[in-house]
Amino acid sequence: MNLTEILNHLGEDPESYFGAVVPPIFQSTNFRFKTLKNLRLALKDETQNPVYTRGCNPTVRILRQKVAALEGTEDALIFSSGSAAVAAAVMSVVKAGDHIVCVQKPYGWTAKLLNVALKNLGIDTTYVTGTDIKQFEAALRPNTRLIFLESPNSWTFEVQDLKAVANLAKSRNISTIIDNSCATPLSQKPAQVGVDIVVHSASKYLAGHSDVVAGALCASKERVRDIFYGPYMTMGGIISPNDAWLMLRGLRTLELRYNRSCESTEKVVHFLENHEKIEKVLYTHSPRFAQYELAKSQLKRGGGLFSIVLKTTEISKIEKFCEGLRVFQMAVSWGGYESLHFPACAFYTSSGSSPGSLPINMIRLYIGFEDANILIEDLKQSLDSYC
């Protein structure tokens, strides 16, 4: 289906709500039935029938159809956060005694889920660099049930060969999950190359306005049904109808927002790659990127997220540069309207000791909707003054 059709019309049915062109917020916990026959019918498939809002809510159901169509999967579920979606996906495939292979440095709270919550339940994880299929193969054990991918990584942007990993997993009867937040379904549809479950932090590009925390999970009908009657309903990490409505509104402009962010990013990256104070720019769609060919073959566009490494490793200079930025705001997250920077030195003490896993002089940048020239000017003035 055409992208603009999905974002603007799919799943909507104005006739069933007085012709309103904007779907209403069905702010109702429960839905009534006049006959037992109809109640029984509805209870047969709570994945599709509004009975109770922890299960199926009509506003949320519109979102599910749109997000599933975006990823090209049969169905989808929407969660109260990306982390809830990740946890539900992982919990749907592993049990005590199982083993997981995961790419190195996944999103921090994904790592915590694997290293603490699941470890405590008797599930072990092996991390692999993920840049070569042989690393996955070597890490597999007889009890490996899951390969978890994040491509690109949202700090250092390593990508994995999705088709090769999906094929390897299928040949061993292992499930695959990918965190596709960074790429968005506009750039990459992992289910089409055989990845089983695609998860998103919808708090980023999908909702897109820095005002909703939400998550999404896309998979086959069968898997979504299992997850619905499993972790989704039992742990109850659902999105509220109100937030679902905000996400619906955000999705209308997904294509416009994403393309704008990509276009400006290309300009800013070009500027930074040619600046003498910059050691390196990590952007998947720069010819200087280590995995440029693979990235280009899997990802339509580079997105608005990338990292820079300053030449200086002096923490006082790094701090001055960051605090000297006037348009870029210092904050976590990304995918909204506002350009951001998030310095890795925030994970270090102010004296520069207690190193994190990222280089002290690495800074993640997100390019929002401000004019690219204003953003370049901002970076220029702070680099020239402080680095």
Ligand X SMILES: *Cc1c(COP(=O)(O)O)cnc(C)c1O
Size, binding site for ligand X by CB under 6 A = 13
| Lookup: tokens for 274 | 């040619």
Binding positions for ligand X, 118-157, rule CB under 6 A? 154
If you compute the radius of gyration of the chain from its CA atoms, what whole number of angstroms results? Answer: 22
Least spacing, CB of residue 366 vs ligand X, in Å: 10
Cβ closest to ligand X, residue 212 vs residue 383: 212
Cβ closest to ligand X, residue 344 vs residue 387: 344
Piece in contact with ligand X (CB under 6 A), picked from 75-83, 132-140, 160-168, 317-325:
75-83
Task: Answer whether 223's CB lies under 8 Å from 91's CB.
Answer: no
Which one among 113, 147, 169, 213 touches ligand X, defined by CB under 6 A? 213
Which one among 201, 264, 284, 339 touches ligand X, defined by CB under 6 A? 201
Piece in contact with ligand X (CB under 6 A), picked from 77-85, 244-252, 348-356, 358-366:
77-85
Cβ closest to ligand X, residue 73 vs residue 110: 110
Q: Helix 241-252 vs helix 254-273: angle between axes, to the nearest 10 degrees? A: 60
Binding positions for ligand X, 104-123, rule CB under 6 A? 107
Residue 209, judged by CB atoms within 10 A of its CB (0-12, 13-18, 19+), counts as middle
| Lookup: tokens for 71 | 């990823």
Cβ closest to ligand X, residue 161 vs residue 179: 179
Piece in contact with ligand X (CB under 6 A), picked from 119-127, 128-136, 174-182, 292-300:
174-182
Which one among 176, 203, 210, 286 touches ligand X, defined by CB under 6 A? 203
Least spacing, CB of residue 40 vs ligand X, in Å: 36
- Strands 362-366, 305-310: pairing is antiparallel
Least spacing, CB of residue 371 vs ligand X, in Å: 25
Q: Of the candidates 239, 187, 181, 188, which has an alpha carbon nearest to the alpha carbon of residue 205?
A: 181
Cβ closest to ligand X, residue 81 vs residue 382: 81
Which one among 62, 177, 182, 315 touches ligand X, defined by CB under 6 A? 182
The terminus-to-terminus CA distance of the chain in angstroms comes to: 49
Residue 15, judged by CB atoms within 10 A of its CB (0-12, 13-18, 19+), counts as exposed
| Lookup: tokens for 73 | 């999967």
Cβ closest to ligand X, residue 204 vs residue 225: 204
Cβ closest to ligand X, residue 125 vs residue 203: 203
Piece in contact with ligand X (CB under 6 A), picked from 31-39, 131-139, 178-186, 338-346:
178-186
Residues 377, 267: Cα–Cα separation, whole Å: 12
Cβ closest to ligand X, residue 42 vs residue 90: 90
Cβ closest to ligand X, residue 98 vs residue 150: 150
Question: What is the dihedral sign for C-alpha 53, 54, 56, 57?
Answer: positive
In which residue are the tokens 């402009």 written? 253
Least spacing, CB of residue 78 vs ligand X, in Å: 11
Piece in contact with ligand X (CB under 6 A), picked from 33-41, 78-86, 275-283, 369-377:
78-86
Task: Answer whether 311's CB lies under 8 Å from 277's CB.
Answer: yes
- Determine what percent of the chain falls in helix, strand and coil, rounding each to the nearest 5: 40, 15, 40
Site string for ligand X, 82-101 (x = CB under 6 A): xx------------------
Cβ closest to ligand X, residue 89 vs residue 387: 89
Residues 317, 208: Cα–Cα separation, whole Å: 32
Residues 6+ apart with CB under 8 A from 234: none
- Is residue 261 close enough to count as binding ligand X by CB under 6 A? no
Beta partners for 147? 101, 176
Q: Of the candidates 223, 244, 219, which has an alpha carbon nearest to the alpha carbon of residue 79?
A: 244
What residue type is 307 in one-letter code?
Answer: S
Question: What is the dihedral sign for C-alpha 105, 111, 114, 116?
Answer: positive
Piece in contact with ligand X (CB under 6 A), picked from 26-34, 177-185, 238-246, 356-364:
177-185
Q: Which residues bind ligand X (CB under 6 A)?
A: 81-83, 107, 154, 179, 181-182, 201, 203-204, 213, 215
